[in-house]
Amino acid sequence: MKIKIAVLLGLLLTATASFADLKIGFVNIPAVLEKAPQAEKAKKRLEREFSPRDKQLVAQQKEIQNLEDKMSRDASVMGDAERSNLEKTILNKKRDAKRSQQEFSEDFNVRRNEELGKLQRRIVEAIRSIAKAQDFDLLLTDGVIYASEQIDVTAQVQQKLSTMPE
């Protein structure tokens, strides 16, 4: 029995000693995403790409509003046929505007997800580079309840991203 206890204590001490040699770190991904220069560039690219369509949607809404204002203002002096035609025009323009808005939202979401995917791949690349360069045994991200500042390498990942080519 004493031999078993001695072997067990020896195993525990060996396991503790090997865990002490582990180098573990933590990366706060939301903080990296917020401060990554690539995120700001992606946001500007999306704004440039979708700004013309957004302006077009605003113009469509303004046109519909003007037609509705005309209808409410002049309905009493319009003939039945003219009022009916204007109502149909407004209805058709609203339908077109709704369809355009849905297409815009879908296209924007697809492009935003593409940009986010590129950025996430760059972040993973930066994290792996830091892990290898600094001999980390384990780097953790989401799902961590607590991480001390000693193991937080978020700032290093942000710095690495700022030096990576586009």
Please name each of the domains of the chain with its CATH number.
Answer: 22-163 (3.30.910.20)
Rounded-to-integer distance, Cα 12 and Cα 1, Å: 17
pLDDT at 146: 59
pTM for this predicted structure: 0.68
pLDDT at 50: 93
Residue showing tokens 């113009």: 59
In angstroms, the CA 25 to CA 151 distance is: 4
pLDDT digits (tens, 9 = 90+) for 23-79: 788 888 888 888 888 888 999 999 999 999 999 999 999 999 999 998 888 878 888
Distances (CA, A) of 73 to 5, 66, 79, 93: 95, 10, 13, 19
3-state secondary structure the chain: CHHHHHHHHHHHHHHHHHHHCCCEEECCHHHHHHHCHHHHHHHHHHHHHHHHHHHHHHHHHHHHHHHHHHHHHHHHHCCHHHHHHHHHHHHHHHHHHHHHHHHHHHHHHHHHHHHHHHHHHHHHHHHHHHHHHCCCCEEECCCCCCCCCCCECHHHHHHHHHHCCC
Mean pLDDT, all residues of the chain = 83
Tell me: pLDDT of 13 over 60.
Answer: no
